[in-house]
Amino acid sequence: MVEWQEIPGGVTAPRGYRAAGIAAGLKPSGAKDLALIVSDVEAIAAGVFTKTQVRAACVDYCRQKLQSKSGGRAILCNAGQANAATGEAGWEDVRESARLVAQTLSIPLDEVFLASTGVIGQRIKMDALREGVPKVAAALSDTGGDSAAEAIITTDLVTKSIAIEAQFGDRTVRMGGMSKGSGMIHPNMATMLAFITCDAVVSSQLWQDMLRRAADKSFNQITVDGDTSTNDTLIAFANGQSRTPAIVKEGPEAEKLEAMLTHVCQHLAKAIARDGEGATCLVEVRVSGTASDDDARKIARTVAGSSLVKSAIFGRDPNWGRIAAAAGRAGVNFEQENLRIKLGEFHLMENGQPLDFDRAAASDYLKQQAAGEYLKDDTVSIEINLGYGSGEGFAWGCDLSYDYVRINAEYTT
Catalytic residues: 191
Residues 6+ apart with CB under 8 A from 368: none
Residue 58: Cβ-neighbour burial (10 angstroms; 0-12, 13-18, 19+): buried
* DSSP designation for 402: H
| Nearest of 361, 336, 360 to residue 350 by alpha carbon | 336
Question: Can you give 66-101 as a three-state secondary structure string?
Answer: HHHCCEEEEEEEEEEECCECCHHHHHHHHHHHHHHH
| Nearest of 188, 198, 158, 232 to residue 39 by alpha carbon | 198
Residues 6+ apart with CB under 8 A from 197: 11, 12, 13, 14, 17, 37, 39, 43, 175, 176, 177, 236, 237, 239
* Residue 206 CA: distances (Å) to CA of 15, 37, 251: 21, 22, 11
| Nearest of 165, 171, 50 to residue 117 by alpha carbon | 50
Provide φ and ψ at 345, rounded to 5°. Answer: -95, 5
3-state SS assignment for residue 279: coil
* Residue 37 CA: distances (Å) to CA of 99, 238, 242, 412: 16, 13, 18, 28
